Amino acid sequence: MLVDSHCHLDFPDLANHLPDVLQRMQENKVEFAVCIGVNLEDFSKVLAIAENEPRLFASVGVHPEYTDVEEPSEDQLVALAAHPKVIAIGETGLDYYWHKDKPEWQRERFRRHIGAAKRCGKPLVIHTRDSAEDILRVMREEGADAVGGVMHCFTENWEIARQALDLGFYLSFSGIVTFKNATIVKEVAQKCPLDRLLVETDSPYLAPVPYRGKPNQPAYVRHVAEEIARLRSLSFETIAEATTDNFFTLFQHARRT
Ligand SMILES: [Zn+2]
């Protein structure tokens, strides 16, 4: 059994083919997936998808890339996260690739997400791009280790990985780990303790080899797990079992039905 810890099923590429997407999951033994919220405007869509399907969970948050959207208050995030299908707070974090001026509002927004996660006891789903130092600093300042979470689509080096692991966070690997030139990601996927490893697709983006460049879907998380098994000289079953157990250990509100 596999779990896709991070996908965007409300995005049109996937939302328009949901029955097919679920069918392909089943064929590939991907039993669960988390539909990740990226803004409040679309959250009801994310939640509806999860409500209609026992195999799907949801998260609530506002992605750091988004500027012209409703700014969430901590209270608002806590209230929305009270829904039993919502198992995490995020996607949140810092993105200095799209916002090279490193704006203060991103750190403010991130701090509110950490505050909300601590209040409702639901872990964080963290996005970091060109911002690893500040991510770790804000995580420490806000005591994010009290609630924990996952560094999603992890692409940083081992030194950053080690610091996130020290804060009790999990590392989730996407299709990038299957890319030939992703040397650093492969190295970190090899070194990450087996009990802190998660897998994801981040679909519809980042399709793994052999689908690279094509639309991604949760079923393809299988290829991510296969590559990590190969890198660590372990069986596919070992990686599938470990990442599934880790998922349910971290996301205590996800019911394994
Ligand atoms: Zn995402």
Q: Which CATH number do you get for residue 159?
A: 3.20.20.140
Cα of 199 from ligand 1 centre, angstroms: 13
Give a yes or no: residue 137 inside a domain: yes
Cα of 205 from ligand 1 centre, angstroms: 8
Output the CA–CA distances (angstroms, integers) from residue 257 to 46, 224, 254, in the order listed: 20, 24, 9
Give a yes or no: residue 172 inside a domain: yes
37/45 Cα distance (integer angstroms): 9
Give a yes or no: residue 46 inside a domain: no
Cα of 33 from ligand 1 centre, angstroms: 13
Cα of 7 from ligand 1 centre, angstroms: 6
Listed in sequence order, the residues at least 6 apart from 252 whose beta carbon sits closer than 8 Å to its beta carbon are 121
pLDDT digits (tens, 9 = 90+) for 20-32: 999 999 999 999 9
Give a yes or no: residue 136 inside a domain: yes
Give a yes or no: residue 255 inside a domain: no
Half-sphere exposure at residue 103, Cβ-oriented, CA atoms within 13 angstroms: 11
Cα of 91 from ligand 1 centre, angstroms: 7
Give a yes or no: residue 243 inside a domain: yes
| Dihedral sign computed on CA atoms, order 8, 33, 252, 53 | positive
Listed in sequence order, the residues at least 6 apart from 237 whose beta carbon sits closer than 8 Å to its beta carbon are none
pLDDT tens for each residue of the chain, 257 residues long: 999 999 999 999 899 999 999 999 999 999 999 999 999 999 999 999 999 999 999 999 999 999 999 999 999 999 999 999 999 999 999 999 999 999 999 999 999 999 999 999 999 999 999 999 999 999 999 999 999 999 999 999 999 999 999 999 999 999 999 999 999 999 999 999 999 999 999 999 999 999 999 999 999 999 999 999 999 999 999 999 999 999 999 999 998 86
Expressed as residue numbers, the domain containing 210 is 2-28+59-250
Cα of 194 from ligand 1 centre, angstroms: 23
Cα of 36 from ligand 1 centre, angstroms: 7
Give a yes or no: residue 127 inside a domain: yes
Cα of 206 from ligand 1 centre, angstroms: 10
Structure tokens, 29: 């033994």
* Number of domains into which the chain is organized: 1
Alpha helices in 85-171, H assignment, sequence order: 104-120, 132-141, 158-166
Give a yes or no: residue 54 inside a domain: no
- For 26, counting Cβ atoms within 10 Å of its Cβ (0-12 exposed, 13-18 middle, 19+ buried), the class is exposed
Cα of 126 from ligand 1 centre, angstroms: 9
